[in-house]
Chain A
Amino acid sequence: MNAVEAVELRKRFISYERIGLIRRRKTIANALNGVSLNVKWGEVYGLLGPNGAGKTTTVKILSTLLIPDSGFARINGFDVVKEAKKVRGIIGLVLYPDKGFYSRLSGFENLVYFGRLYGLSRGKAEERARELLRLVNLDWAANRPYEEYSLGMRARLSIARALIHDPPVVFLDEPTIGLDPVSSRSIRDLIKGLKREGRAVLLTSHNLWEVEEVCDRVGIIGSGKVLMEGSPRDIKDRLGLRYVIEIEIEGDSKGKVIRVETTDPVAELKRIMNEIEGNGLRISRMRVNEPSLEEAYIRVVSG
């Protein structure tokens, strides 16, 4: 059984646009147009897409905060609409990494409170809060009020809250947004740790380099649909993105650089090496530039 399973999720929102001082016009936005995805245990699944593509709507439906118009979703076999309470007990959620806590309470008090809401005893909640504050490297600020936390500290505390009840499934909606490189890196390390523990993680992010680093599979979402899905490498291969091989030759042709673009870098490298050796030349430097997920993403999103 998959940890997360979503089938043909559809959701539309009705909003009202101001067209004057008083008059409003009703607008309907199709946020999801049949999103289907699944996340396996011990897998980090990245959901990519431009703003308004439906990433957060998908996360909210999966975390029981929105009811889909049609389609269904199950978390560990529990239906997100009919068995919402059971689903809530087994998921951890990061929605807004920069807020969502009581500003006058300390990080420790906030975590203990949410732990209690997830059914932990006081002793267990305190123990778990201490453990998680250590994990996210916030133990030194445990008793400082949340309002004094920096953005990076808040994001790490959000992840600690998502793990307070030790959930097997974790949803992270843009957990590194606005973070400095050091904080982003610590969050990425945390996500890798979650995967090693066998949890299923659904991550949304605009940082494609980060997604490529931590995700086993990605789904590129656009206009409310999953446009392409697979491992980052698989997606690049399917799009026929080209690797760039750069080879610098030693000896007579010193300083000469051979630059080859290919979709099959292994075969191409073998061919070039044979040719160089056959001509009695030697390689002084070689570099293979893999196409980035960003290129794949732009290709998919821009159609």
Chain B
Amino acid sequence: MRLRDWLSLFWAIMLNELRIIAREPGGLVILLLMPYLVAGGMAFMASFFTRVSGIDFIREFIGFEVVMVSMIMVQTGARFISEERSGGRLEHLIATPVSMYIILFATSIVMVIVNISAYLVASLPVIYGVFGVIGLLRLIPTLVIMFIGLMPLYGIGLALAGVVVRLRDVDALMNVVTALLSVLSGATYPIYILPRWVDAVVVALPMYQMYQTALGIVMGSGVTGLIYGLAASTVAYLALGVFTYGRVERGMLKGGVK
């Protein structure tokens, strides 16, 4: 297959996923409004005890943005497998000559783009309000950080897909994972309050690396060494996801898609 054919196929899968998302616009609206509701609510409550500055609001806002898009990305792989299976499409997808890795990767890229777009649209007014035009310019590199940061989360999601295939109860599992990861994100509270070992776990997770790097850029304090950690996480978690999914697919071909 030539590169042009690959790209054409990749685009076809992305377009299909975009079409499906576009026909359920309610989710997109929530994606845009939720960070305001949560960060606004927290700022409102905090205002009873202390003065809440624009910087504090942005810190919470970006933190919640990171947590929210991270949750979506972690769930993407597992939910995709689960929904395709229950909809009777999984076997038909496997039965095509296209590798499931290509299908999974293309759909994950769509989710990354949708999440980054939602982050951009939701952040624009608040960043402009606090930092002006310079804030908007700083927002651009954070999009790249988000793009890199969401890929390892997708890798974690793919690894979870294996558990989903065995347990068959995607919602229960995802609720547990979501709760766990939101606590371990370190994006909505200062992590120095945590025990030292939990602190180490948080720093090793891509959410914290993504949050701190993006926040540093928006605040104008530059990029920290966490960006290297983020790059390493991308490679490590994606490799874990690819390896785990390979085993899952092999298992499905041996035991059947149930």
B is bound to A: yes
Inter-chain contacts of A57 with B (CB < 8 A):
256
Rounded to whole angstroms, the CA-CA distance of A101 and B87 in the bound complex is: 7
Inter-chain contacts of B140 with A (CB < 8 A):
none
Let me know if B19 is at the binding interface, CB within 8 A. yes
Let me know if A247 is at the binding interface, CB within 8 A. no
Rounded to whole angstroms, the CA-CA distance of A88 and B24 in the bound complex is: 32
Inter-chain contacts of A243 with B (CB < 8 A):
none
Find out whether the CB atom of A93 lies under 8 angstroms from the CB atom of B95: yes
Find out whether the CB atom of A88 lies under 8 angstroms from the CB atom of B88: no
Q: Closest A-chain residue to B93, C-beta based?
A: A117
Interface residues of A in 48-64 (CB under 8 A from B): 57, 60, 63-64
Partner of B94, one of A13, A65, A113, A121: A65
Least CB distance, B24 to chain A, in whole angstroms: 7
Find out whether the CB atom of A65 lies under 8 angstroms from the CB atom of B253: yes
Find out whether the CB atom of B97 lies under 8 angstroms from the CB atom of A85: yes
Find out whether the CB atom of B89 lies under 8 angstroms from the CB atom of A104: no
Find out whether the CB atom of A13 lies under 8 angstroms from the CB atom of B255: yes
Let me know if B180 is at the binding interface, CB within 8 A. no
Residue among B94, B96, B255 with most chain A CB within 10 A: B96
Inter-chain contacts of B103 with A (CB < 8 A):
117
Q: Closest A-chain residue to B24, C-beta based?
A: A104
Rounded to whole angstroms, the CA-CA distance of A117 and B88 in the bound complex is: 16
Find out whether the CB atom of A114 lies under 8 angstroms from the CB atom of B92: yes
Find out whether the CB atom of B19 lies under 8 angstroms from the CB atom of A109: yes
Let me know if B46 is at the binding interface, CB within 8 A. no
Find out whether the CB atom of A93 lies under 8 angstroms from the CB atom of B92: yes
Determine chain B's interface SS by DSSP, over half rule: helix
Find out whether the CB atom of A101 lies under 8 angstroms from the CB atom of B256: no
Q: Give the contact-size bracket for chain A.
A: 35 or more
Least CB distance, A124 to chain B, in whole angstroms: 11
Q: Residue-by-residue, is B1-24 near A (CB-CB < 8 Å gives 1, otherwise 0)?
A: 100010011001100100110011
Let me know if A130 is at the binding interface, CB within 8 A. no
Find out whether the CB atom of A101 lies under 8 angstroms from the CB atom of B89: yes
Interface residues of B in 218-239 (CB under 8 A from A): none
Find out whether the CB atom of B19 lies under 8 angstroms from the CB atom of A65: no
Let me know if B133 is at the binding interface, CB within 8 A. no
Rounded to whole angstroms, the CA-CA distance of A88 and B93 in the bound complex is: 10
Rounded to whole angstroms, the CA-CA distance of A105 and B1 in the bound complex is: 28
Let me know if A67 is at the binding interface, CB within 8 A. yes
Partner of A96, one of B13, B88, B255: B88
Find out whether the CB atom of A100 lies under 8 angstroms from the CB atom of B92: yes
| Contact A65-B97, Cβ < 8 Å, known A102-B20, A119-B5 | no
Inter-chain contacts of B87 with A (CB < 8 A):
99-103
Partner of B253, one of A67, A85, A103, A114: A67
Let me know if B198 is at the binding interface, CB within 8 A. no
Residue among B1, B94, B95, B103 with most chain A CB within 10 A: B95
Find out whether the CB atom of B9 lies under 8 angstroms from the CB atom of A119: yes
Find out whether the CB atom of A65 lies under 8 angstroms from the CB atom of B95: yes
Let me know if B200 is at the binding interface, CB within 8 A. no
Inter-chain contacts of B12 with A (CB < 8 A):
113, 116-117, 122
Partner of A104, one of B5, B23, B92: B23
Find out whether the CB atom of A105 lies under 8 angstroms from the CB atom of B19: yes
Interface residue ranges, B against A (CB under 8 Å): 1, 5, 8-9, 12-13, 16, 19-20, 23-24, 87-89, 91-98, 103, 253-257
Closest A-B pairs by Cβ, 3 of them: A99-B88, A116-B12, A100-B88
